[in-house]
Amino acid sequence: MLTNRQQQCLQGIGIQVWSERRAGPGETGDRPRFSEQPEHQIDLTQSGETSQEKRGLSPDSNAIEGSTTSVPENPVAETSVPTSFDSWDSIIEAIHACNACELGRNCTQKVPGVGDQQADLLIIGEGPGHEEDIRGEPFVGRSGQLLDRMLAAIGISREQVYITNIVKCRPPNNRDPKSHEAQQCRVYLEAQIEQLAPRVILSVGRVSAHNLLNTNEPVGKLIKQMHKLPGTEIPVKVPDAAMSNSELWFRRMTLADIRWVMNVEREVYQFPWTDKIFNDCIRVGYHCWLALFQQSIVGHAVISVTAGESHMLNLSIAREHQRKGYGRQFIEFLIEEARSREARTMLLEVRPSNTAAISCYNSAGFNEIGCRKDYYPATEGREDALLFARHISPPGDVPGR
């Protein structure tokens, strides 16, 4: 039996087969829990890179896909698309077996979606790009890093959401999905929305926004307000591409920077490092970095690299610059720094109480591998340190998450 919200989803996206649909009012109180994240001392909930992977843009590819009555441009269906699904498994299986449009014949593999199948937040992109096609997962590579940063900015990780695309197969040369392709694939997206019954949808990219919202409005207009999935009460947010302009740049820390670094240390840590420690780190050749946004220093970090192993010894973001995605960008930079110095593992320690940092490290590919008892000083007694590690692939490999 479908819930009211599920029925609303289906109604909004044009499914005609629901005999159980009721006209009752929508459920109330559906608000994204991700907006309720607590403040954290250190901004390690933020993500890394900036630019979403760009696809080739064809001038006529902005077609609205919202109408279920439009005629496909090039109906080449070799297999019929199922009309109903009773489970996530049936959706995924059907996608993998699908050859309903030409995209299915040219892709490396189908990319149905990934994430928590009970998530409140559904993220819908345009279609798989090159890396997604190779790895079978949506939003990996630079586009994934952008997405991770956007999620981190609202205090949640990739694992807490469900991520999919308008089309499940890669368009050749990363072009936009064509009208009939999006329409052929719509049944799977509808089924995913039905199964998930999300509290909110994040529509990433012009093609996604135009398809979902049944509009041809410029994205610049769409980002200015919350929308609803047509015919439903499900909020749809189109994120501001300007987030990609929040790129940090980095320079080495010098002795002259230590005064500023100490101000941040004292601000964000109950038990800060001393200026002597930073002095020693610079003097012995540890890799001491500052992160800057425009001309403002926003954070500092120290890593060591020895015999293929890197240790992240310190990573701090000034309080005024927290919750902007800078912590995650800094982590990605430090991983690249370690990679360039032939490190194949990065290790770090974090307090169990620092849940924001742990979430961020997890989203950056770190896994917990151990615990050091009574490692950190604490207000009362000592606090354990959780030990995290991340594999670093050699330069030229697809970076592991």
Binding site for ligand SF4 (CB under 6 A): 95, 98-101, 103-104, 110, 167-169, 181, 184-185
Q: Nearer to ligand SF4 by C-beta: 7 or 203?
A: 203
CB of residue 99 vs ligand SF4: minimum separation in angstroms? 6
CB of 98 to ligand SF4, least distance (A): 3
Of the pair 15, 386, the CB lying nearest ligand SF4 is at 15
For residues 325 and 45, what is the distance between their CA atoms, to the nearest angstrom? 7
- The distance of closest approach from Cβ of residue 341 to ligand SF4 in the complex, given in angstroms and rounded to an integer, is 42
Rounded to whole angstroms, the Cα distance separating 52 from 50 reads 7
Q: Please report how close the Cβ of residue 106 comes to ligand SF4 at its closest, in angstroms.
A: 9
Q: Which is nearer to ligand SF4, 45 or 184 (CB)?
A: 184
With CB atoms as reference, the residue minimizing the distance to ligand SF4 is 104
Q: In terms of CB distance, is 171 or 239 closer to ligand SF4?
A: 171
Q: Are 231 and 13 in contact (CB under 8 A)?
A: yes
Which CB sits closer to ligand SF4, 167 or 193?
A: 167
Measured from the CB atom, the residue of 98 and 200 that comes closer to ligand SF4 is: 98
363: number of Cβ within 10 Å: 26
Q: Minimum distance between the CB of residue 111 and ligand SF4, rounded to whole angstroms?
A: 9
Give the residue with the Cβ less far from ligand SF4, 5 or 178: 178
Nearest approach in angstroms of CB 189 to ligand SF4 is: 9
**What 3 state SS string does the chain have?**
CCCHHHHHHHHHCCCCCCCCCCCCCCCCCCCCHHHHCCCCCCCCCCCCCCCCCCCECCCCCCCCCCCCCCCCCCCCCCCCCCCCCCCHHHHHHHHHHCCCCCHHHHCCCCCCCEECCCCCEEEEECCCCHHHHHHCCCCCHHHHHHHHHHHHHCCCCHHHCEEEECCCCCCHHHECCCHHHHHHHHHHHHHHHHHHCCCEEEECCHHHHHHHHCCCCCHHHHCCCCEECCCCCCEEECCCHHHHHCCCEEEECCHHHHHHHHHHHHHHCCCCCCHHHHHHHHHHCCEEEEEEECCEEEEEEEEEEECCEEEEEEEEECHHHCCCCHHHHHHHHHHHHHHHCCCCEEEEEECCCCHHHHHHHHHCCCEEEEEEEEEEECCCCEEEEEEEEEECCCCCCCCCC
Q: Identify which of residues 107 and 161 has a Cβ nearer to ligand SF4 in the complex.
A: 107
Nearer to ligand SF4, 151 or 169 (CB): 169
Shortest Å, Cβ 190 to ligand SF4: 12
Shortest reach from residue 212's CB to ligand SF4, in Å: 16
Taking the complex as a whole, how short is the minimal distance between the CB of residue 191 and ligand SF4, in angstroms? 12
| Adjacent-strand bridge partners of 360 | none
